Amino acid sequence: MTQDNTNLSQDPEFAELDALFARAATTEPVLHDENFTKIVVNRLPINPSRAQRKAISFDVVGVIIGVIAAYFMFDFGQFWAVIVDLIPEYTLSIDVSQLIVMGAISLFGFTGLAGWFAMRD
Amino acid sequence: MQNLDDSLLIELAVGNNDQRAYTELVNRHQSALRYSMRQLTDWNEALADDLTQDALIQAFKELHRFRGQAKFSSWLYRIGYNTFLQYVRKKQLNTEPIEDQPLQDQHAEQAMSESEDSALHKKVAKLLAMLDPERRSVLHLFLHRQHTQQEISDIMGIPLGTVKTHINRGRQALQSGLQGWQEQAI
């Protein structure tokens, strides 16, 4: 048992307060009412939309597959060459290891985002 | 239905959209939640019941998200507490100062016709009403429901340190309020 499970009776400073709450706890009324249940049941939606989580999961899977496919199919070398050509009077060199690092960062970013979407309540 | 445990009823309610299963869950858990809501709303019975109904309907909509890691009653309490918070934010119904009149005088007429127990529960609710909503809920879970600090942290989704602070300061505030009432009553 964790230490935070404070034993209420061990703290004399609050003995009176704790006793008051303890008495309330032991005499808690049973608030059961059929009419109350009926009101709740009558207000329940007939078809609650519960497919959202599943739909998000499919979206997430699609995004991950898309990112992976793009990573392997896309010619980053040519892409950067075109970008570099667009910049006048500047030359930019980038090697394969840098491309891999950037690709990995992008992948982790997308996966993290997708994971967050999947896990959020 | 009455013989089935909560997890099975939840499965039926979610998988088969079985409202009878959820009705049984409402029957089982309404009392505790209604009582907790009364404690959070300074024993405003009508408001507490409205909030409980909203919470139970919200819980039905969100039932597929319940993963069974916590007790259903704890999960339900969290939805109830969030419903209460939304109400407080909307209505700006926040803390109440400690009133000058002793509790016994304020409710003298009511007390005549009420049982001793009923007066006790209202007194506890009145005490809790001195605290801000989050602290009120923490103290209710700690002193009345007797949850551990870690459990309260999990139920309310707030850090353990915050729970400890609420308990330390909340108990002192409640004790002072209680003593103040008693001194005025003498």
> Is the Cβ pair A31, B31 closer than 8 Å?
yes
Residues in chain B: 186
CB within 8 A of B110, min separation 6: which ones? B119
> Is the Cβ pair A45, B61 closer than 8 Å?
yes
> In this predicted structure, what is the pLDDT of residue B184?
74
> Is the Cβ pair A4, B145 closer than 8 Å?
no
Measured between beta carbons, which residues in chain A are less than 8 angstroms from residue B30? Answer: 31-33, 36-37, 40
pLDDT(B4) > 80: yes
Closest Cα partner for B77 from B46, B38, B35, B33? B33
- The percent of residues in chain A predicted with pLDDT above 90, rounded, is 24
Residues in chain A: 121
Contact of B51 with B79, CB cutoff 8 Å: no
Range of weakest confidence among A50-59, A109-118, B86-95, B130-139: A50-59
Q: How far apart are CA B63 and CA B14, in angstroms?
A: 7
The whole-angstrom distance between B118's CA and the closest CA on chain A is 8
> In this predicted structure, what is the pLDDT of residue B124?
94
> In this predicted structure, what is the pLDDT of residue A56?
63
Helix or strand holding residue B154 (H, E): helix B149-156
Its ipTM equals 0.80
> Is the Cβ pair A5, B164 closer than 8 Å?
no
Determine which of B10, B31, B33, B76 to mutate to test the interface with A (most A C-beta atoms within 10 Å).
B31
CB within 8 A of B83, min separation 6: which ones? B51, B54, B55, B58
Measured between beta carbons, which residues in chain B are less than 8 angstroms from residue A53? Answer: 64-65
Q: Look over chain A and give the mean of its residue pLDDT values, rounded to a whole number.
A: 80
The whole-angstrom distance between A89's CA and the closest CA on chain B is 55
- The mean per-residue pLDDT over the stretch A81-106 comes to 81
> In this predicted structure, what is the pLDDT of residue A24?
94
- For the four alpha carbons of A9, A16, B34 and A49, in that order, the dihedral sign comes to negative
Query: Rounded to a whole number, what is the largest CA-CA distance in chain A?
Result: 84
> Is the Cβ pair A5, B148 closer than 8 Å?
yes
Structure tokens at B157: 């989704």
pTM of the entire predicted model: 0.69
> In this predicted structure, what is the pLDDT of residue A116?
86
> Is the Cβ pair A41, B26 closer than 8 Å?
yes
Closest Cα partner for A17 from B52, B100, B130? B130
Least CA distance to B140: which residue of chain A? Answer: A21
> In this predicted structure, what is the pLDDT of residue A6?
53
Chain pair A-B, CB pairs under 8 angstroms: 105
B68 phi/psi in degrees, rounded to 5: 75, 10
Please write the tens of the pLDDT for every residue from B67-115: 888 899 999 999 999 999 999 998 865 555 444 444 444 444 444 445 7
pLDDT(A5) > 60: no
Closest Cα partner for B132 from B172, B91, B97? B97
Please write the tens of the pLDDT for every residue from B13-69: 998 888 899 999 999 999 999 999 999 999 999 999 999 999 999 999 999 999 888
- For the four alpha carbons of B8, B150, B88 and A23, in that order, the dihedral sign comes to positive
Contact of A104 with A68, CB cutoff 8 Å: no
Indicate the pLDDT class of residue B120, thresholds 50, 70 and 90.
very high
B10-27 in b/e form (b: 16+ CB < 10 A) is bebbbeebeeebbbbbbb
Please write the tens of the pLDDT for every residue from A12-71: 888 889 999 999 999 999 998 899 999 999 999 887 766 555 556 777 888 888 888 888
> In this predicted structure, what is the pLDDT of residue A53?
53
B37 phi/psi in degrees, rounded to 5: -65, -35
Closest Cα partner for B54 from B92, B13, B24, B84? B84
pLDDT(A72) > 90: no
The whole-angstrom distance between B92's CA and the closest CA on chain A is 26
